Amino acid sequence: MAKKYVKDFNLNIYTNIDSYVFSTDKPVLMPYRSTIYKAVLASLSDIYIKGLYPLSVGISIGLKIVRRYILREFKFGLDRVFKKYGVNGCYKWDTNYTKDPFISVFTVSLGSKELPLWSKASPGMYVYVDGYFGLTRLGLDFLMGIKNPLDFIDIYDEAINEFLYPSPNLNLYPSIVNDLGVIASIDSSDGLARSLNTISSMSNVKIVVDNIPAHKKLLNLFDDQDDIKRLIKYVFYGGEEYRGIFICDKIDERSLKKYGLVRIGRIYEGSGVYVKYNGKFIRIEPTGYIHTFD
């Protein structure tokens, strides 16, 4: 039935699978409801960023010991992410026993058009992102005890929540991709630096960021010229924001406001990713989110 439906309507089947491994992805203080929220979000974002809508989701989990309170936590997390992104439940759930707990999520979608690829960016195009960056990395620092919350009292709760429950505007991505002529797109699951460098490498182009997409509260914290390196660290070398990065021709102001997009830079001939700051160019290295929680 599925094959006939796809053939008759000239549709392609698209799938994505993503895994969340506790030993490398879960800080000790991270609740179980957040782990499954982020595991599902990671798979959904890879579908939405290509201009598609998810049809169904399958989940396989592995735990050392299966306890009711953990399963209740998973239910809370699933309800939250499904409700936020309009997913109509889970078509298949599998529970396993394992020494290293994990969550694997399989998402299925249908599409009838050519998808935006990492290799299609061209000189002259612009780079847009969904919102602002930086709080996710700061929230992780709080959970890991790297930063003293008392030094960031005005931003602590928001940063923690942004790390535990990222909230990209995934539901808008199909309209952004299909209505605004997006040529290349990628999400920031491994950080803005790695994602931009992926586009640069695959398309053989240079990306210059002349508008750092830093969250307003971060700008207030790092407002001195000497703080630019710290600002870049939090904005570009975070990870698990799952926010969309879109490459296309110039978008009008009305559409930017409608979709909440921020223009951050432009595509040029050459290679690499750079931030233009006070007339100087700062190289953004192709490094990303480091998983070191075991």
27-40, pLDDT tens digit by residue?
A: 989 999 999 999 99
61 vs 1 pLDDT, higher one: 61
Same domain, 64 and 88: yes
User: What pLDDT shows up at residue 227?
Assistant: 83
Which structural domain, as residue segments, surrounds residue 270?
A: 126-283
User: What pLDDT shows up at residue 1?
Assistant: 30
| Residue 133 β-bridge partners | 214
Instruction: Write out pLDDT tens, residues 1-22.
Output: 344 445 556 788 999 999 999 9
Residue 47 pLDDT more than 80? yes
User: What pLDDT shows up at residue 266?
Assistant: 98
Same domain, 199 and 261: yes
User: What pLDDT shows up at residue 219?
Assistant: 84
Q: What is the CATH number of the domain that holds 26?
A: 3.30.1330.10
Q: What is the CATH number of the domain that holds 223?
A: 3.90.650.10
Residues in the chain: 294
Same domain, 103 and 138: no
Average pLDDT, the chain: 91
Domain count, the chain: 2
Same domain, 145 and 83: no
Residue 101, burial from CB neighbour count under 10 angstroms (0-12, 13-18, 19+): buried
Same domain, 98 and 187: no
In this prediction the pTM is 0.92
Same domain, 6 and 91: yes
Same domain, 168 and 249: yes
Contact 251, 268 (CB under 8 A): no
Q: Is 294 inside any structural domain?
A: no
Indicate the residue among 53, 82, 111 that finishes a domain: 111
Instruction: Write out pLDDT tens, residues 192-216.
Output: 999 999 999 999 999 999 999 999 8
Instruction: Write out pLDDT tens, residues 227-278.
Output: 888 899 999 999 999 999 999 999 999 999 999 999 999 999 999 999 999 8
Would you place residue 293 in the very low, low, confident or very high pLDDT band (cuts 50, 70, 90)? low
Would you place residue 282 in the very low, low, confident or very high pLDDT band (cuts 50, 70, 90)? very high
Q: Is 290 inside any structural domain?
A: no
Indicate the residue among 111, 141, 158 that finishes a domain: 111
Instruction: State how far the Cα of 46 lies from the Cα of 44, in Å rounded to an integer.
Output: 5
Instruction: Write out pLDDT tens, residues 129-141.
Output: 999 999 999 999 9
| Residue 122 to residues 95, 200, 204, 216, 256, Cα–Cα distance (Å) | 45, 10, 8, 30, 21
User: What pLDDT shows up at residue 226?
Assistant: 61
Tokens of 114: 């050519």
Q: Which of 106, 103, 102 is nearest to 90 (CA)?
A: 106
Same domain, 140 and 276: yes
Same domain, 105 and 133: no
Indicate the residue among 111, 139, 165 that finishes a domain: 111
Same domain, 145 and 38: no
Same domain, 91 and 177: no
